[in-house]
Structure 1
Amino acid sequence: MQVSITGRHVNVTDNVKAHVEDKLERCLGVFPRIESIKVILDTENRDQVAETIIQASNHIRITATEKSENLYDAIDRSIEHAERQMRKHRDKVQDHHK
């Protein structure tokens, strides 16, 4: 699994990278088919924006974007939103193949 962390108008420090990687390991470690994850951090006016893009096998692409005044809060919410989407997609596929 390749993890790419990009900052637009934001300096990505080692603490931010460690936080993102730790959160990704805990939340998305259960999905074995993930090929790559891109986390894009941005600043819009006073809000911090975190966008998580997950590319998985079988052309599955999940995108989650969250805004918050706190960068760490935006990262957490974005990754949790992507996790909910992956879980929903996985359950839909498993329920379909009885």
Structure 2
Amino acid sequence: MTVEVNARHKNISEAFRDYARQRGEKIGEAFPMVESVRVVMDFQNKLCAAEIIAQRKDEMFVGTANTDTSMRAAVDMAAAKVEAQIRKKRAKAYVEPARKAAQAAEAAK
């Protein structure tokens, strides 16, 4: 899995780049179907925005840009949103076959 870290409008330190990379790797460890993660950090005046894009085959999950005064908090909030989207999608994938099986059983009666 690849993790790409980019910054807009400002250079970031190597330590923070490593933090964002580790946060992206955690998403990959928790969800093995994710093929790549891209972390984009944007600085505008005193506000920081983070966007995390996790991609798997034929699907893309985006943690929308979260604005905060702390870039670390913005990255964490965006990662939490991406993880929630992936969990929701995975839960729907498991519920759908069960629902179809229940409907088939009802129709057979």
Q: Same fold (TM over 0.5)?
A: yes
Give the partner amino acid of 2:69: E
Which aligned segments of 4 or more residues in structure 1 are displaced greater than 3 angstroms?
25-28
1:6 aligns with 2:10: no
Letter in 2 for 1:25: E
Tell me which of the two structures has the higher relative contact order, counting C-alpha pairs closer than 8 angstroms and 6 or more residues apart: 1
Q: CA RMSD in A?
A: 1.4
Matched, 1:63 2:25: no
Q: After the TM superposition, which residues 14-93 of structure 1 pair with which residues of structure 2 at under 5 Å, given as runs? A: 14-57=14-57, 59-64=58-63, 65-93=65-93
Q: Unpaired runs of 5+ in structure 2? A: 99-109
Specify the SS of the correspondent of 1:97.
helix
Asked if structure 1 preserves the Cα contact closer than 8 Å seen for 2:54 and 2:60, the reply is yes
Between Structure 1 and Structure 2, which shows a larger proportion of helix residues? 2
Q: Distance in 2 between matches of 1:40 and 1:87?
A: 22
* Structure 1, unpaired ranges of 5+: none
Task: Give the count of matched residue pairs.
Answer: 97
- Larger fraction in strand: 1
Tell me, in whole angstroms, the C-alpha distance in 1 between the residues paired with 2:91 and 2:53.
Answer: 20
Greater radius of gyration (CA):
2
